[in-house]
Amino acid sequence: MRNLTLLLALAIGCTGNDTTDKTSTGDTGATATSSTIEDVFTQNLLEDVDIVVVFDTNWDDASKAFKTAMDEIGYKTLLLADPNWQIGLMTSDVSNVSQRGFIRGIHTTVFPDQGTLDVVGNGSSLSKVREAIYVALTDRLRKGGGNEDFFRPDAHTYFMVITESRDRSEDEPISADAFANFIERADFTQSIRLGVITLPDNNTERYWTEVAQQLGGTVDTVGSWNRAVESRFFEAIDHRREFPLSELPASPPREIIVVERDRPRTKVIEVDYDYVASRNAIRFIGEVPTPGAQIRVTYEKSDEPVNETAGTE
């Protein structure tokens, strides 16, 4: 297996500022008067990231669509962020004992030769994501297992699951709860997170949303492969598009300030960002704040929920 260099992720920091009667609010570190909140977020990147793409071999044409999206947006996202990254590929098919859990190296700095992604093929076996990842991180990590040289102890690990269905893993060799505990205790990497690209089916999306939230990630559906792949890589390097507010606002913040290279710029709701009521967060629509940017959100707090703005997911 080829050694690869991995993704840079960005960690979110939050501080707060105010001039009178400051009290700390929430775990973002925001400060407030009795009714005015200012949440201040900083866009910081992870230094080293190991990304593993997990393909459901039953999803026809997924590998071709993924490769096209990588050509058009995926590697541009990584190269602009300039992290220390590597990418590997495995499948969620565990029926072939000689291949299950094995991570193939597919990328260093440029896209691999034609056909490299075709190793995933088209399958008819049940997709068992949890079992495949568990094998990749246990049996395959042992000497001679095939994955022992992939993961770097100073890097963060991100599994990008690409599947058209729910996970069909059973409680053996490991249950869902035991798997979450196993991931949390892993000591061969700095952290492990899991994000998902799936079909826009409500039941499937809802299922994977719950799984991903438990494992520190989110879900995209493939209305657009480019958008989904970009979103997954942003999450892998922790380059955030969405920022959760520390308190409920009385109304969605109409303007926010983004400071990049010491230059403050005003961003406008429904033009530059939306308010997502279901997650009490602002979400940038197009351009995402660059690494090192500071995002300042000032609003009046309320105990009553407010509505989303147009165009939110």
Least confident of 39-43, 115-119, 139-143, 240-244: 115-119
The predicted pLDDT at position 16 comes to: 41
Residue 244, token pair as written in the block: 């959760």
Say how far apart CA 106 and CA 103 lie, in whole Å: 9
- pLDDT, tens digit, for every residue of 51-89? 999 999 888 778 788 888 888 877 777 766 666 888 888
Q: Tell me the pLDDT band of 308, cut-offs 50, 70 and 90.
A: low
The C-alpha atoms of residue 86 and residue 104 are separated, in whole angstroms, by 11
> Residue 50 in contact with residue 152, Cβ under 8 Å?
yes
Q: Among all chains, which residue has been given the structure tokens 């109409």?
A: 254
Q: Which domains does the chain have, with CATH numbers?
A: 15-44+242-300 (no CATH), 48-236 (3.40.50.410)
Which pLDDT band, with edges at 50, 70 and 90, does 223 fall under? confident
Query: Which tokens go with 310?
Result: 């147009």
Contact between 64 and 116 under an 8 Å Cβ cutoff? The reply is no
Mean pLDDT of the residues in the chain: 81
Over residues 126-155, mean pLDDT: 93
**Residue 152 burial (C-beta neighbours within 10 Å; 0-12, 13-18, 19+):** buried
- CA 16/CA 25 separation, integer angstroms: 9
Question: What is the average per-residue pLDDT within 293-300?
Answer: 96
**Residue 106: its pLDDT value, please?**
60
- pLDDT level of residue 122 (50, 70, 90 thresholds): low
Signed CA dihedral, 44, 242, 165, 61: sign only? negative
Ranking 198-202, 233-237, 272-276, 304-308 by mean pLDDT, the lowest is: 304-308
Of 60 and 106, the structure prediction assigns the larger pLDDT to 60
Query: Taking 50 as the threshold, does the pLDDT of residue 233 lie above it?
Result: yes
Residue 113 pLDDT exceeds 90: no
* pLDDT above 70 coverage of the chain, percent: 78
Q: Is the pLDDT of residue 291 over 90?
A: no
Q: Is residue 128's pLDDT more than 90?
A: yes
pLDDT, tens digit, for every residue of 259-286?
999 999 999 999 999 999 988 999 999 8
The confidence score (pLDDT) of residue 38 equals 96
- In Å, how far are 117, 180, 193, 205, 288 from 218, measured between CA atoms? 24, 15, 9, 10, 17
Could you give phi then psi for residue 292, rounded to 5 degrees?
A: 90, -10
Beta bridge partners of 87: 51, 107
Both structure tokens of 3 = 């050694």
Which residue in 83, 61, 86, 97 sits closest to 160, CA to CA?
Answer: 86
User: For 4-41, what is each residue's pLDDT tens digit?
Assistant: 332 222 223 333 443 333 333 334 555 545 689 999 99
